[in-house]
Structure 1
Amino acid sequence: MKAKELKHIEAAMLESTASYFDSNDTGVMSVGGERSAVLKIRDIESLAREISTSDEVCFYQKDMRGRARFAATKMGERLLTNIWAKEVIDKYYPIHDFNPFVKAFFESVEEHAQAFHSLRKAQSFDGDLLVLIDSLNRVVERLRRAVKSKDFKNEISSHRRLSNKNHKSLISYIDAVFEERSRLLVLRVDLGYSKSVVQRHFREGLQFEDVKKHRERFLRLLRARVPPTTFLGHAWKLEFGLSKSFHYHCMFFLDGSKLREDIVWGKIIGELWVENATKGQGVYYNCNRRKNVYRACGIGMVEHSDKGMRENLKKAAIYLTKIEYYMRIATEGRARTFGRGEMPKKPLKKRGRPRGAPASEGGEAIA
Structure 2
Amino acid sequence: MLMGLEYSGELFEQAALDQCVADTQSDDVFLTMLPEEPYIHDMAEIINMVMEVANHTGYAMVGSLGGCRRLNKTGRKYLRTLRIDSRELISIFKNNKLSPYIGVFNRVRAAMSKAFLLSVVESDKASVTEELEAVTFAVNFIEKAATNAVFKRYMKNYERAVKKNGTSLNGFVDDLFERHSRLLVLRLDIGYSLPYIQSQKWNVNPERVKSDFNRFLRAMKRSRLKDALCGYVWKLEYGPTKKYHYHLMVFLDGSKHQEDVVIGKELGELWKEKITNADGTYFNCNRDKEKYKRCGVGMVSWNEGEKISNIKHAGNYLVKLDLLVRPNLPDGERTFGRSGVKKNKSTAGRPRRLKTF
Q: TM-score range by the shorter chain?
A: 0.7 to 0.9
C-alpha contact 2:234 2:337 (8 A) present in aligned 1: yes
In structure 2, the partner of 1:101 is 101
- Whole-Å separation in 1 of the counterparts to 2:52 and 2:186: 40
Gaps of 5+ in 1: 363-367
- Look up the equivalent residue of 1:265 and give its one-letter code: I
The 1:3/1:197 distance shift into structure 2, 3 A limit, reads same
Match of 2:38 among 36, 42, 56: 36
Instruction: Describe the SS at the equivalent of 2:47.
Output: helix
**1:274 is aligned to 2:275:** no
Shift of 1:144: 1.5
Instruction: Describe the SS at the equivalent of 1:39.
Output: helix
- Look up the equivalent residue of 2:167 and give its one-letter code: K
C-alpha contact 2:109 2:118 (8 A) present in aligned 1: no
In structure 2, the partner of 1:151 is 150
- Whole-Å separation in 1 of the counterparts to 2:132 and 2:355: 56
- Whole-Å separation in 1 of the counterparts to 2:126 and 2:7: 42
Match of 2:352 among 331, 354, 357: 357
In structure 2, the partner of 1:176 is 175
The 1:222/1:206 distance shift into structure 2, 3 A limit, reads same
Instruction: Describe the SS at the equivalent of 1:234.
Output: strand
- Look up the equivalent residue of 2:100 and give its one-letter code: P
C-alpha contact 1:47 1:75 (8 A) present in aligned 2: no
The 1:309/1:153 distance shift into structure 2, 3 A limit, reads same
- Whole-Å separation in 1 of the counterparts to 2:146 and 2:135: 17
In structure 2, the partner of 1:45 is 47
The 1:192/1:335 distance shift into structure 2, 3 A limit, reads same
Shift of 1:7: 4.6
- Whole-Å separation in 2 of the counterparts to 1:109 and 1:256: 54
C-alpha contact 1:167 1:318 (8 A) present in aligned 2: yes
- Look up the equivalent residue of 2:123 and give its one-letter code: A
Shift of 1:298: 1.5
In structure 2, the partner of 1:251 is 249
Match of 1:223 among 221, 224, 240: 221
C-alpha contact 2:169 2:316 (8 A) present in aligned 1: no
Shift of 1:248: 1.2
Shift of 1:165: 0.5
The 1:329/1:113 distance shift into structure 2, 3 A limit, reads farther
- Look up the equivalent residue of 1:35 and give its one-letter code: E
- Whole-Å separation in 2 of the counterparts to 1:100 and 1:197: 33
In structure 1, the partner of 2:190 is 191
Tell which deviates more after alignment, 192-201 or 139-148.
Answer: 192-201
Instruction: Describe the SS at the equivalent of 1:280.
Output: coil
Shift of 1:149: 1.1
What TM-score, normalized by structure 1, do the two folds share? Answer: 0.82
Shift of 1:81: 2.6
The 1:226/1:24 distance shift into structure 2, 3 A limit, reads farther
In structure 1, the partner of 2:319 is 321
The 1:4/1:136 distance shift into structure 2, 3 A limit, reads closer
- Whole-Å separation in 1 of the counterparts to 2:69 and 2:239: 38
- Look up the equivalent residue of 1:361 and give its one-letter code: K
- Look up the equivalent residue of 1:99 and give its one-letter code: S
In structure 1, the partner of 2:284 is 286
- Whole-Å separation in 1 of the counterparts to 2:104 and 2:154: 11
- Whole-Å separation in 2 of the counterparts to 1:298 and 1:181: 17
Shift of 1:218: 1.0
Instruction: Describe the SS at the equivalent of 2:80.
Output: helix
C-alpha contact 1:236 1:250 (8 A) present in aligned 2: yes
- Whole-Å separation in 1 of the counterparts to 2:293 and 2:152: 36
C-alpha contact 1:93 1:240 (8 A) present in aligned 2: no
Shift of 1:186: 0.8
CA RMSD of aligned residues (A): 3.4
Shift of 1:287: 0.8
In structure 2, the partner of 1:365 is none
In structure 2, the partner of 1:123 is 124
1:187-242 CA deviation, whole Å, 9 max, x = no partner?
1011021121233687x520322211211111111111133321121111111223
Shift of 1:311: 1.4
C-alpha contact 2:220 2:226 (8 A) present in aligned 1: no
- Whole-Å separation in 2 of the counterparts to 1:3 and 1:34: 24
C-alpha contact 1:25 1:286 (8 A) present in aligned 2: no
The 1:308/1:282 distance shift into structure 2, 3 A limit, reads same
- Whole-Å separation in 2 of the counterparts to 1:212 and 1:94: 21
- Whole-Å separation in 2 of the counterparts to 1:46 and 1:217: 40
In structure 2, the partner of 1:340 is 338
What TM-score, normalized by structure 2, do the two folds share? Answer: 0.84
1:250-305 CA deviation, whole Å, 9 max, x = no partner?
11111111122111110110011111221211011111111110111121111122
